[in-house]
Amino acid sequence: MQGFKYWLANHGPIVARLEVDKAFMFANRRTGVIDRYGGGMFGGHAVVIAGYDEDGNFLVKNSWGRRWGNRGFIWVSENYAKAAFNESYGVTV
């Protein structure tokens, strides 16, 4: 995940594919950091990893609108990211 952090700090966002699980599907403002992956798989989906914090969590932007997560964003732990994201591409703008 150091590669993700390096890319985010030096180049910008990362487009990633994940297998959506129950925690991601039903994330809301009170969810906090999603840490545990698995359960109720819903299929593949693309998101943007927009940043990270000092605890190693990643800020994820989803396309499901402002009612999902916290106004369209959610924090996921590094452990969650390792388990959920199975494809990624750095983006320069």
Residue 75 has pLDDT above 90, yes or no: yes
The pLDDT value given to residue 40? 85
What confidence tens digit (pLDDT) does each residue in 53-74 have?
999 999 999 999 999 999 999 9
Fold of 2-90: Cathepsin B; Chain A (3.90.70)
The pLDDT value given to residue 91? 77
pLDDT (mean) for 40-51? 94
What confidence tens digit (pLDDT) does each residue in 10-42 have?
999 999 999 999 999 999 989 999 999 988 889
Is the four-CA dihedral 34, 84, 89, 8 of positive or negative sign? positive
**pTM for the model:** 0.92
Angle (CA) 3-52-41 rounded to 5° is: 85
